[in-house]
Amino acid sequence: MARKKRHEGEHDSSERWLLTYADLITLLLGLFVILYAGSQVDAKKFEEVMSAFSQIFGGGAGILEGQAGALSAPVLPKEQEEKLREMVKESLGDALENAQIALSETERGVTVSVADVLLFDPAQATLRPEALPVLEKIARTVSSVSNEIRVEGHTDNAPIRTGDYPSNWHLSVARSLNVAYYLLEHGAIDPSRMAITGFGEHRPVAPNDTPEGRARNRRVDIVLVK
């Protein structure tokens, strides 16, 4: 009888690893749930900023033809919409009339494209004084959401070789960097949300064989990533 009890104890001890394994699986499940929850975009806030941009920038008409804003119905409360309209009338009126700003939505997110003629002098990356009120309004709007923000510089295919910018890549990076710094300083944006990229002439939105096409390609895109 004593021998039988000893064998049963050894059997119970050999299966204790199952308890440890079950605990590990439970912990992993909890970890995956937390990671999944943390990865979800605040959809309500994202829709609000899309609507705000759509109302501010005229529903997508601008330098990127054929890419209209995706939202037709406002999400923000009416008085907030009116306040946003009043805020941008003074600083964005000329830019909107001259098609220097465009709003679009892609699978990546919402993109605000600003023509280089509004932001910079030719072949330069220093922000023009006329661009600052425009960027300040954009900074205040994008600061209201928690999405990642990518600032992407683009040029046409005309070669550039200066002491400051030996290539279009150098110029596009410098331009996106200066725009990003201004947004950070005037939008109270967490720098960990911001990324900059310079594509040079390698991602055109129009053919570079006409002055109009080259003008459309010279831009800075501010992307709210989904």
Per-residue pLDDT of 22-60, as tens digits, reads 777 777 776 666 666 555 556 666 666 666 666 655 554
pLDDT, the chain, mean: 76
22: β partners: none
pLDDT, greater one: 127 or 145: 127
Distance separating alpha carbons of residues 3 and 194, to the nearest angstrom? 70
Report pLDDT digits (tens) over 86-141: 544 454 555 555 668 887 777 888 888 899 999 999 999 999 998 898 898 888 87
**41-225: in CATH 3.30.1330.60:** yes
What pLDDT score was predicted for residue 141?
79
Alpha-carbon gap, residue 11 to 32, rounded angstroms: 34
Confidence class of residue 224 from pLDDT cuts 50, 70 and 90?
confident
On the question of pLDDT at 200 being above 70, the answer is yes
Q: How large is the average pLDDT for residues 199-219? A: 95
The answer to whether 113 and 104 have CB atoms below 8 angstroms apart is: yes
Q: What's the rounded Cα separation, in Å, for the pair 113 and 149?
A: 13
Q: How confident is the model at residue 74 (pLDDT cuts 50, 70, 90)?
A: very low
Q: What distance in Å separates the CA atoms of residue 208 and residue 20, rounded to the nearest whole number? A: 64
pLDDT in the model for residue 75: 40
Model confidence, pTM? 0.63
Q: Looking at the predicted structure, is the pLDDT value of residue 219 above 50?
A: yes
Does the structure show a pLDDT above 70 at 78?
Answer: no
- pLDDT digit string, tens, across residues 182-191: 999 888 888 9
Q: What is the side-by-side order of every strand in the sheet holding 149-154?
A: 101-105, 109-115, 219-225, 149-154, 194-198
Domain ranges of the chain: 2-38, 41-225
